[in-house]
Structure 1
Amino acid sequence: MKLEPFGNSAALSLGVELELQLVNTHDYDLAPYAQDMLRLMAARKLPGSVVPEMTSSMIEISTDVCTSTTQVLDELTQLRDALVACADKLNIAVVGGGTHPFQQWHERRIYDKPRFRELSELYGYLSKQFTIFGQHVHVGCPDANTALVTLHRLSRYIPHFIALSASSPYVQGQDTAFDSARLNSVFAFPLSGRAPFALTWDAFEAYYDKMTRTGVVKSMKDFYWDIRPKPEYGTIEIRVFDTPLTVERAAALAAYVQSLAAWCMADEPFMPADDDYLVYTYNRFQACRFGLDAVYVDPATGEHLPLREHIRQTMDHIAPHARGLGAEPGLALLRTEVEQDRNDARWLRERQGEERLLAEVIRQAAGRFRGQPA
């Protein structure tokens, strides 16, 4: 299949997708209620969309194309409130977080949709293990070449995105010692990881043509890269975020992406180089494993510094753009949590330390998603 032309979009426009957990209210394990939720949600007039995901205990909500993070938060809040109301009718709950802490992958059911059945046949048990939950952020780019250069500039900040959103410390009842264990499941797929180093659309098209000729790739959907171009939307899509526990944090993460992209496009702070990727996997691992306590290796200088310090420095650089975009409240929320050394993984561990029962942790996380005080 030929690569479609890069579409038109307003620079720095946003679209946000959230994959969410559906759990019962008896033991707070995952519950296969996606079809029922979709039926109830379809009766409501809402922004964006609500669609199924790989397994039947998951659901994905998406905003429309948004011009500001205020609009992102407004639309996510409307979708959240509708989800909660529909879940109440079904006596289930909706929860954020990158993994369900104690679900067993072999109990999952593949959602009955042709693409999901095809993926299940191809990937076997990995498809059910893909019952993990992420936030994707699309940011609009004025043209294809700007999109690719911005993609590779933003790749330096993948550890920021991972640490700030990390919410998957538990897998199958065990503390993994990772803040984001979710991304270990993504890495099992053969076309995951980093995008190829191409700074022009012509070069990217040549790469895409080579890949399609091998028969391994049929469309852009086959690439599970951390950041990928989405030519049909005229955006780049960042895919490494764990789903946060609240829509407020999801909107704050979108504010960070928008402000960072504005800085990259307007100030052109550096030109990306292929050698940036020499430390990419190491930095990515550090952020998954240690969250805000990670070490960050600067790809340009080789300097080692605390990741939280690199995040603070970056927030200072992008602050003027955040002000211009009205994204300051989102950055302020994230900065406060960096200063307090808190992310959602820390919250989940603290709750488990007090309760000693992961089902109770999920019950409280469902309350947080509803908008109840922490």
Structure 2
Amino acid sequence: MTHDLNQSPKVDSGAADRLREFAASRALTLGVELELQLVNTHHYDMTPYAPDMLALLKNAKVPGSIVPEVTSSMIEISTGICEDAEDAYGQLSVTRDALVKAADRLNIALAGGGTHPFQQWHQQRIYDKPRFKELTALYGYLTKQFTVFGQHVHLGCPDADAALLMLHRLSRYIPHFIALSASSPFVQGQDTAFDSARLNSVFAFPLSGRAPFVLHWEDFERYFDKMRATGVIHSMKDFYWDIRPKPEFGTVEVRVFDTPLSIARAAQLAAYVQALGAWFLNDSPFVPVEDDYLVYTYNRFQACRFGLDGTYVDPASSEQFSLREHILLTLQRIAGHVPAADREALQELRHIVSREGNDAGWLRACYADVQQLPEVVRQATLKFSGRV
């Protein structure tokens, strides 16, 4: 396929140019996706082994899926439908173990983290898939710079209007999700001074950020049709919003998490989303309004830049909190809505906020100790594999 570099190519989303009907799902069910790094075990830079991994894992009996991502040094795994975060952890464990076994055969390793600390974007190869090539034609170097790694959490919703209400309620807690999951302090060999530098790469895309404020599916359909009529988008995949509806799954998809360094942390983050959702459904603590978004970008920046040490401005009261304080207050408020199986996971999150700190802090502490970024990556691969 060739493109005139002076013309804007059309990206074929791989789906029909229409908004899919919202498929109702059971409220508060979960799904988790993780984008992972493939690294060479000699120098711990990224390595383009995704095709080899996928070939080895073609017939693997795993509960979800294992698929390629935009560059060949990445891979994405997902769970099936999960009842709770304990279920998600169990499913991710099975897939993680299959991945590690395959990686050992190829003499490579896998790591979490929102960015690879020292890979050079221009060295990455686009995975041989039509959509990825078309994205490259449209976005140029941004596509290779999109060699960043996130966790997505899907939360089941019984109908389309319930999904939009859930989306806008969860949007107040985007800074929590960013700060708790932040694991991308290093980019291109440098400490960025951000806890989550990954989201700076995402924010470069024109259809990133927040979703439009609509609370009824008919209004969302009208918005989608207007956007489609402009030729800018062709399916929901073309929106890179922090949270977006996923009509074919019957979910809302939270997309701001950095990939954690361990699947245990991934499950804890999913537990937090589920508990928030249960609180919203059972107590209806607030009705979202457009003014919730007045401080949205500011709060988002604070969480990316300073992590748990950032400032959170409550959009309803304009009161300022530390993010640590607001997360702990929220964990206290939702305590009665946590499934018994997930109470330990939420307790671990409380420990992270109070004492341990997020994965960005772990990576910086590791670097302060060893002074070599390849060794930091090696330690991260051990953490992901569960061998330490």
1:45 aligns to what? 61
Match of 1:183 among 194, 199, 203: 199
CA distance in 2 between counterparts of 1:2 and 1:362 reads: 42
Q: Secondary structure in 1 aligned to 2:81?
A: coil
Contact in 2 for aligned 1:173/1:358 (Cα 8 Å): yes
Contact in 2 for aligned 1:312/1:335 (Cα 8 Å): yes
CA distance in 2 between counterparts of 1:315 and 1:304 reads: 18
Which residues of structure 2 form unaligned runs of 5+? Answer: 1-16
Contact in 2 for aligned 1:37/1:86 (Cα 8 Å): yes
Q: Does the alignment pair 1:340 with 2:358?
A: no
Contact in 1 for aligned 2:24/2:160 (Cα 8 Å): no
Q: Structure 1 residue 332: deviation in Å? A: 0.8
Match of 2:81 among 62, 65, 73: 65
1:152 aligns to what? 168
Q: Does the alignment pair 1:20 with 2:36?
A: yes
Written as runs of structure 1 = structure 2, the 5 A alignment for 1:78-157 is 78-157=94-173
Amino acid aligned to 2:18: K
CA distance in 1 between counterparts of 2:23 and 2:72 reads: 32
Match of 1:352 among 350, 356, 367: 367
Q: Secondary structure in 1 aligned to 2:165?
A: helix
Once the two structures are superposed, what CA deviation does each residue of 1:342-361 show, in whole Å capped at 9, x if it has no partner?
A: 11000000000011000000
Q: TM-score, normalised by structure 2?
A: 0.95
Once the two structures are superposed, what CA deviation does each residue of 1:140-160 show, in whole Å capped at 9, x if it has no partner?
A: 001111110110010000000
Once the two structures are superposed, what CA deviation does each residue of 1:95-140 show, in whole Å capped at 9, x if it has no partner?
A: 0000000000000000000110110100000000000000000000
Q: Structure 1 residue 281: deviation in Å? A: 0.1
Number of residue pairs the alignment of both structures matches: 372
CA distance in 2 between counterparts of 1:247 and 1:362 reads: 16
2:214 aligns to what? 198
CA distance in 1 between counterparts of 2:325 and 2:356 reads: 11
Once the two structures are superposed, what CA deviation does each residue of 1:323-372 show, in whole Å capped at 9, x if it has no partner?
A: x3532111111111111051100000000001100000000000000112
CA distance in 2 between counterparts of 1:45 and 1:4 reads: 30
Contact in 2 for aligned 1:296/1:307 (Cα 8 Å): yes
Matched-pair identity in %: 67
Amino acid aligned to 1:140: G
Once the two structures are superposed, what CA deviation does each residue of 1:205-256 show, in whole Å capped at 9, x if it has no partner?
A: 1111110010101000000000000000000000000000000000000000
Which residues of structure 1 form unaligned runs of 5+? Answer: none
Contact in 2 for aligned 1:148/1:198 (Cα 8 Å): yes
1:368 aligns to what? 383
RMSD: 0.7
Amino acid aligned to 1:40: L
Q: 1:50 to 1:19 in 2, by over 3 A?
A: same
CA distance in 2 between counterparts of 1:371 and 1:152 reads: 35
Q: Secondary structure in 1 aligned to 2:172?
A: helix
Q: Secondary structure in 2 aligned to 1:279?
A: helix
Q: Secondary structure in 1 aligned to 2:174?
A: helix
